[in-house]
């Protein structure tokens, strides 16, 4: 083992670092080789320490949330994967609204459950989307015409210079499946929202309606939508019109339920998914002249 890895293990604690941890265990695709080092950060202080150490020793690192939008290479990741499990939740009463500050590692399902319990409305559209608060902000996730970035007031980050800053919504550069956080080394720590008090019954009804609309989505392991929807047609419709539903390579298949999903039927390899994605891009470009852009994050691949 190289000296830098030993220093990281010594600083973060041998009992806290996993070596050669299979990333397939931490991603919804159930695909991916091992990470050299794997560390679970449960607090702001822990994630800041881990990131600053990786930067200090010039070790490649990756912040993993719920692993719901990530495809890991079959070879895995040469460096330190830091799993963000900052799951704090703070509620403060204001005049007509409630200020909510959520940890970036808080699972969306848990977050929405707490909002329902506290009769807070505004994020019901996120129900059924896997992942964490931080991941949803980074990729500006959303559904049914609404986006996570629309609801954010500000985001707490660790800057690339090592400072702790709050970034106001206007400076987050939110766009469809986009934010500034996808293009720099800033680490999302927490996010602040302003949500309205609403009757629990109304919130539960909205959640039920959204879940009903999501029933047609694939249930097999996947990373969600593979490609960003180009305007005006969705990627799924374009892929469907290329007659690619059901196309299979290895144990990865383009879903019959939704053509913008590639699913793992059991034992699929990352290379199978990549080859299907390349086939999709080729056929869509050939038929429509549109260059599809990946929505999923690729980890451990040669650029």
Domain spans of the chain, in order of start: 3-84, 89-215, 217-299
Q: Is the pLDDT assigned to residue 96 strictly greater than 90?
A: no
Task: State the virtual CA torsion across 265, 268, 274, 279 in degrees, nearest 10.
Answer: -50
For tokens 């690729």, name the residue: 298
The pLDDT-based confidence of 8 (bands split at 50, 70, 90) is very high
Write the burial class of residue 196 (CB in 10 Å: 0-12 exposed, 13-18 middle, 19+ buried): exposed
Position 303 scores a pLDDT of 66
For the segment 141-168, the average pLDDT, to the nearest whole number, is 96
For the segment 19-38, the average pLDDT, to the nearest whole number, is 98
| d(C-alpha 116, C-alpha 198), whole Å | 9
- What are the tens digits of pLDDT across the range 247-266? 999 999 999 999 999 999 99
What are the angstrom distances between the C-alpha of 17 and each of 11, 39, 87? 10, 5, 20
CATH of domain 3-84: 3.30.43.10
Q: Is the pLDDT assigned to residue 12 strictly greater than 80?
A: yes
| CATH topology for the 217-299 domain | 3.90.78
| d(C-alpha 189, C-alpha 156), whole Å | 5
Position 100 scores a pLDDT of 97
Tokens representing 134 are 């931080």
Q: Is the pLDDT assigned to residue 298 strictly greater than 70?
A: yes
Coil, helix or strand at residue 201? helix
Write the burial class of residue 186 (CB in 10 Å: 0-12 exposed, 13-18 middle, 19+ buried): buried
For the segment 22-41, the average pLDDT, to the nearest whole number, is 98
Which residues make beta-bridge pairs with 252? Answer: 249, 264
Pairing relationship of beta strands 222-225 and 142-143 according to DSSP bridges: unpaired
Which residues make beta-bridge pairs with 103? Answer: 190
Q: Cβ atoms within 10 A of the Cβ of 79, count?
A: 19
Q: Does domain 89-215 have CATH number 3.40.50.1010?
A: no
Tokens representing 130 are 């896997």
Position 290 scores a pLDDT of 97
| d(C-alpha 138, C-alpha 145), whole Å | 18
Position 47 scores a pLDDT of 98
For the segment 15-25, the average pLDDT, to the nearest whole number, is 98
Position 95 scores a pLDDT of 74
The pLDDT-based confidence of 215 (bands split at 50, 70, 90) is confident
Tokens representing 216 are 């047609």
Q: Is the dihedral of CA 59, 65, 69, 72 positive or negative?
A: positive
Please state the pTM of the whole predicted model.
0.94
| d(C-alpha 21, C-alpha 44), whole Å | 23
The pLDDT-based confidence of 197 (bands split at 50, 70, 90) is very high
Position 233 scores a pLDDT of 84
Which residues make beta-bridge pairs with 147? Answer: 142
Percentage of the chain surpassing pLDDT 70? 100
């Amino acid at each position: 083992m190289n000296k830098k890895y030993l220093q990281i293990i010594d600083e973060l604690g041998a009992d806290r670092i996993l070596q050669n941890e299979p990333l397939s265990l931490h991603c919804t695709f159930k695909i991916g080789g091992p990470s050299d080092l794997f560390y679970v950060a449960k607090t702001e202080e822990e994630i800041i320490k881990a990131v600053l150490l990786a930067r200090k020793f010039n070790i490649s690192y990756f912040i993993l949330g719920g692993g719901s939008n990530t495809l890991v290479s079959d070879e895995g990741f040469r460096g330190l994967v830091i799993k963000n499990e900052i799951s704090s939740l703070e509620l403060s009463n204001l005049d007509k609204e409630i200020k909510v500050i959520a940890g970036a590692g808080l699972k969306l399902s848990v977050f929405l459950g707490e909002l329902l319990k506290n009769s807070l409305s505004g994020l019901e559209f996120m129900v059924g989307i896997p992942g964490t608060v931080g991941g949803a902000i980074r990729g500006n996730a959303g559904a049914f015409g609404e986006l996570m970035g629309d609801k954010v007031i500000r985001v707490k980050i660790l800057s690339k210079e090592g400072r702790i800053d709050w970034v106001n919504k206007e400076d987050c550069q939110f766009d469809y499946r986009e934010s500034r956080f996808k293009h720099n080394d800033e680490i999302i720590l927490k996010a602040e929202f302003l949500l309205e008090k609403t009757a629990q019954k109304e919130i539960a009804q909205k959640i039920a309606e959204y879940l009903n609309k999501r029933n047609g989505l694939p249930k097999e392991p996947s990373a969600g939508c593979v490609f960003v929807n180009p305007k005006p047609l969705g990627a799924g419709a374009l892929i469907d019109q290329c007659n690619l539903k059901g196309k299979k390579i290895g144990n990865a298949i383009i879903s019959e339920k939704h053509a913008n999903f590639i699913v793992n039927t059991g034992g699929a390899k990352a290379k199978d998914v990549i080859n299907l994605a390349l086939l999709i891009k080729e056929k869509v470009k050939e038929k429509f002249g549109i260059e599809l852009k990946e929505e999923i994050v690729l980890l451990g691949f040669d650029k």
